[in-house]
Amino acid sequence: MTRFGFIGMGIMGSAMAANLVRAGFEVVVWNRSPQKCAPLQDLGARIARTPRALVAECPVTFAMLADPQAAADVCFGQEGVCDAMVQGKGYVDMSTIDAATSQRIAAAIREKGGRFLEAPVSGSKKPAEDGTLVILSGGDRTLYEEVEPAFAKMGKRSFYLGDVGQGARMKLVVNMIMGAMMAAFCEGLVLGERGDLDPETILEVLDAGALANPMFRLKGPRMLAEDFAVNFPLKHMQKDLRLALLHGDETAQPLHVSAAANEAFKQARAQGLGDEDFSALLAALRTNSG
Out of 89, 171, 235, 239, pick the active-site residue: 171
Rounded Cα distance, 3 and 129, in Å? 20
Rounded Cα distance, 270 and 28, in Å? 37
Rounded Cα distance, 20 and 22, in Å? 5
CB count within 10 Å of CB 215 equals 13
Is residue 186 within 8 A of residue 281, CB to CB? The reply is yes
Secondary structure (3-state) at 35? helix
User: Strands 133-139 and 121-122: what pairing?
Assistant: antiparallel
Is residue 138 within 8 A of residue 116, CB to CB? The reply is no
Decide if 171 is catalytic: yes
Q: Tell me the catalytic residues.
A: 171
